[in-house]
Structure 1
Amino acid sequence: MKNFIKNLGPGILVSAAFIGPGTVTVCSIAGVNFGYSLLWALLVSIFACIVLQEMSARLGLISGKGLSDCIRDEMKNPAIRIFTLFLIFSAIVIGNAAYEAGNISGAVLGIEAVFDSNSFQLGAFDFNIWSLIIGSIAFILLLLGSYKKLEKVFIVLVLLMSIAFLLTAVLTGPDLIDIFNGFVPGNFDAGLLTIIALVGTTVVPYNLFLHASLVSEKWKGSKQLGMVRKELIFSLFLGGLVSMAIVVCAAASNIDKIEDAADLAIGLEPLFGSSATVFLAIGLLAAGITSSITAPLAAAYVVKGCLGWKGGMNSKKFKLVWMSIIILGVMFSSLGIKPVEIIQFAQIANGLVLPIIATFLFWVVNQKTVLGKYRNSLLQNIIGFVVIALAVFLGAKSIFNVIQNF
């Protein structure tokens, strides 16, 4: 057990990354609008997350490189390589900019639960003061390179919030039969965008890149594969349990819609009473800042791998990428759109980007030149194909529905 706890790391960070403002918001919206009926979608999302993150972790451990580096090295045709890397580059940069806006908006949602909203007009943008402050904090921490120390504090706060939701879910005394019925797949059309958002908030595309890099730095050699898998399954299962608890809390809260943190906090009242809003505000702020640091950092690593840049976090080109993501995130979060809507949009965008990234991951973990005997087995390929096919189906159905509405 001591050895297992000592080796907790990459999986916990991946789990902490998806238990952010997006997860709290999207899972709460799912619970309020559809009760327990979308629990099956979360279960599928968690399974898909474990399958894809295991591929990513195995790739990082055996190859000792990141996902984008492996893709660049394995694409032999120059034209195909350029097109592929451009596609990944675009998907991650655009997706992470949207995700960054959701992270910043989530942190702002927490602050505005306690303090008043403040903004000023600058051209077409109505900048929220709190958005600028959160963006500046992320900017300074990344610039100084001291974010790792504070990240531990933020992760602890997010974990405390997670424990709170688990305890509250028990205290609400939900009907167990209704919960079990929620794991039976229902009508896809009833909450298609919510289903995609649930997938997007659980299987975060940039985590597939981050996980490979984190594992390659923490462990060396195939002998650690068993430990990598155990740590991954434990961490993601725990994260999935928290997501389900949030749905249960929201479904039992008896509210009609969610527009701000006060609405989200109602789900925690059985445990914290009148202090629920303050507690949730701290959790959202911590989750938002943590994610607003990791999202631009991940984008910078992806671009670095795609373009084959040398040097680490201190290189000017590397810094320019994460700076751009933070600036875009602040701008997107200042468009006058409600924070809850921005967060939900970010998760939907993630759900649509996922099939592209998952397909390239699936391809590279089947390359003998990269993983040798540790490449995907027939069973892993079948399961992986089903997961990717489901992601493609949800994304295509969403686009088709949008086109129909024009």
Structure 2
Amino acid sequence: MGTSLKEKIKKGIVLFLPGIFLLGFNIGTGSVTAMAKAGATYGMSLLWTIVASCLATFLMITLYGRYTLVTGETALKAFKKHIHPGVGIFFIVALTAGVCGSVMGVMGIVADICYEWSKSVIDTGISPIYFAIFFISLVYFIFWNGKTQFFERALAVIVAIMSASFLLNFFILTPPPSEIIKGLIPNIPENLNEEKGPFLVIASLVGTTVFSGLFIIRTTLVKEAGWTINDFKKQRNDAIVSVTLMFVISSSIMAAAAGTLYIEGIGLSKASQMIELLEPLAGSFATSVFAIGIVSAGVSSQFPNILMLPWLLCDYNNSERKMTLPKYRVMVLLISLLGLVVPIFNARPVFVMIISQALNSIILPLTVGGILYLTNRKDLMGKYKNSVLTNVFLVILFLFSIFTSVIGIKGVIQLIS
């Protein structure tokens, strides 16, 4: 009986591994910083943007997954074959550039968080470089194994730690329930400062959740799981679990900042400040739990980040995804080592993260437009072609993605100038 239950649990976990992989990819330090900053500055009033982002993400995950279930083709193969090879190459270049920026920013923030946290044990703290070397080595060691299932299972453990940390923090630092309910009603907060308009804040929150790389990689995971159109329900349930957890974790981070920093009228400019600011307000236990959550988020997003380029190349060339090949091991090592840039050169991790987020926002319109075109082709989708309602939602998302792209480009120009 015990063995039977154990087998059922094991099968259940395996069933949702692709979704857990996406969750680890999606909730990184960029998301943590954006959600914490929004919560510290505006309380729970922008909670509705997380709801909207998660619904948009669910739509895109489902559509990209369904395309692969029907045609058996991954996204890059479809772009190359049915639109133009140049579109596939653009995605490889743009996503790799975004990921390289993300690797630098993520490891910079994780090392910074650990350094601040270590001050509670050692007065001077432990240098961020040592933390960066440790986490880069850990992720590369797990990658060395070379099997997707092994990555997914390792990631599932890290995502479980992250989820538990942020949820526990939510219950310790929860804001009043009335504030949470009010935040679900779409509104533009009045107390936004002039430097960053309300739309820029909303665009940054959406940009960290509705991520193009997520949808491209989704098709690879669906194909590798061996799913067909008969597994549509399985694919949808997996997407529901993934997006629900995205919402719960994102809103928990926002609530932790809203329940402490917002109430005290303290703003936030970088993630590591959460450690300094939370300690006197929430105590060392809540601060440690939050730090564990941020570190887990950083490490979990680092896995898919370092795998992005080799996976995209395999997709584009329609070759076997054998990560034990020397060329992929060297490629991943070089991308992993970018994580040392911020701690060694004392670069600004937030600046690097903003640049990579802006690149992601430029890719999004093409990602939405691409799937809108592909899923409306009767010769490819047959009876599974998009419904009118699906197309309406996709067009709205397409227009919004153009809007966020313009904001993202303007934001980067202002930052550079």
Give the shorter-chain TM-score range: 0.7 to 0.9
Residue pair 1:110, 1:283 contacting (<8 A) in 2 also: no
- Alignment pair present for 1:291 and 2:293: no
- Which of 165, 168, 187 is the equivalent residue of 1:185? 187
Q: Report the counterpart of residue 283 of structure 2 in structure 1.
A: 273
Q: Deviations over 1:238-263 (max 9, x none)?
A: 22122012111101212332445362
- Alignment pair present for 1:305 and 2:312: no
Q: Report the counterpart of residue 325 of structure 1 in structure 2.
A: 335
Q: Counterparts of 2:205 and 2:364 in 1: how far apart (Å)? A: 12
Q: Counterparts of 2:147 and 2:233 in 1: how far apart (Å)? A: 32
Q: Counterparts of 1:42 and 1:268 in 2: how far apart (Å)? A: 27
Greater shift in the superposed pair: 164-173 or 204-213 = 164-173
Identity across the alignment (%): 24
Q: Deviations over 1:203-222 (max 9, x none)?
A: 22211122111112224321
Cα distance change of structure 1 residues 73 and 330 upon mapping to structure 2, 3 Å threshold: farther
Q: Counterparts of 1:404 and 1:24 in 2: how far apart (Å)? A: 23
Q: Report the counterpart of residue 163 of structure 1 in structure 2.
A: 164
State how 1:3-402 maps to structure 2 within 5 Å: 7-75=15-83, 81-115=84-118, 116-118=125-127, 128-145=129-146, 149=150, 152-183=153-184, 184-186=186-188, 190-254=197-261, 255-261=266-272, 263-264=274-275, 273-309=283-319, 312-331=322-341, 334-400=344-410
Q: Counterparts of 2:355 and 2:380 in 1: how far apart (Å)? A: 36
Greater shift in the superposed pair: 147-156 or 24-33 = 147-156
Residue pair 2:50, 2:206 contacting (<8 A) in 1 also: yes
Residue pair 1:265, 1:280 contacting (<8 A) in 2 also: no
Cα distance change of structure 1 residues 151 and 333 upon mapping to structure 2, 3 Å threshold: farther
Q: What amino acid is the match of 2:65?
A: A
Q: Report the counterpart of residue 123 of structure 1 in structure 2.
A: none
Shift of 1:39: 1.6
Shift of 1:346: 3.7
| SS in structure 2 at match of 1:186 | coil
Greater shift in the superposed pair: 1-10 or 19-28 = 1-10
| SS in structure 1 at match of 2:197 | helix
Residue pair 1:104, 1:330 contacting (<8 A) in 2 also: yes
Q: What amino acid is the match of 1:200?
A: G
Shift of 1:31: 0.8
Greater shift in the superposed pair: 301-310 or 36-45 = 301-310
| SS in structure 1 at match of 2:116 | coil
Cα distance change of structure 1 residues 308 and 112 upon mapping to structure 2, 3 Å threshold: same
Q: Counterparts of 2:43 and 2:370 in 1: how far apart (Å)? A: 35
Q: Counterparts of 1:333 and 1:199 in 2: how far apart (Å)? A: 28
Residue pair 2:270, 2:350 contacting (<8 A) in 1 also: yes
* Structure 2: unaligned runs, 5 residues or longer: 1-7, 119-124
Cα distance change of structure 1 residues 140 and 291 upon mapping to structure 2, 3 Å threshold: same
| SS in structure 1 at match of 2:230 | helix
Cα distance change of structure 1 residues 260 and 45 upon mapping to structure 2, 3 Å threshold: closer
Residue pair 2:71, 2:381 contacting (<8 A) in 1 also: yes
TM-score normalised over the length of structure 1: 0.83
Cα distance change of structure 1 residues 367 and 150 upon mapping to structure 2, 3 Å threshold: closer
Greater shift in the superposed pair: 239-248 or 141-150 = 141-150
Cα distance change of structure 1 residues 261 and 67 upon mapping to structure 2, 3 Å threshold: same
Q: Deviations over 1:91-136 (max 9, x none)?
A: 11111111222332243134213433537xxxxxxxx343344333
Residue pair 2:40, 2:267 contacting (<8 A) in 1 also: yes
Shift of 1:151: 5.4
Q: Counterparts of 1:378 and 1:352 in 2: how far apart (Å)? A: 26
Shift of 1:8: 1.8
Q: What amino acid is the match of 2:376?
A: N
Q: What amino acid is the match of 1:256?
A: G
Q: Deviations over 1:241-290 (max 9, x none)?
A: 220121111012123324453625755988x8323333333333333223
TM-score normalised over the length of structure 2: 0.81
Q: Counterparts of 1:401 and 1:144 in 2: how far apart (Å)? A: 40
The CA RMSD over aligned residues, in Å, is: 3.2
Cα distance change of structure 1 residues 197 and 29 upon mapping to structure 2, 3 Å threshold: same
Residue pair 2:365, 2:398 contacting (<8 A) in 1 also: yes
Q: Counterparts of 1:61 and 1:393 in 2: how far apart (Å)? A: 31
Q: What amino acid is the match of 1:396?
A: V
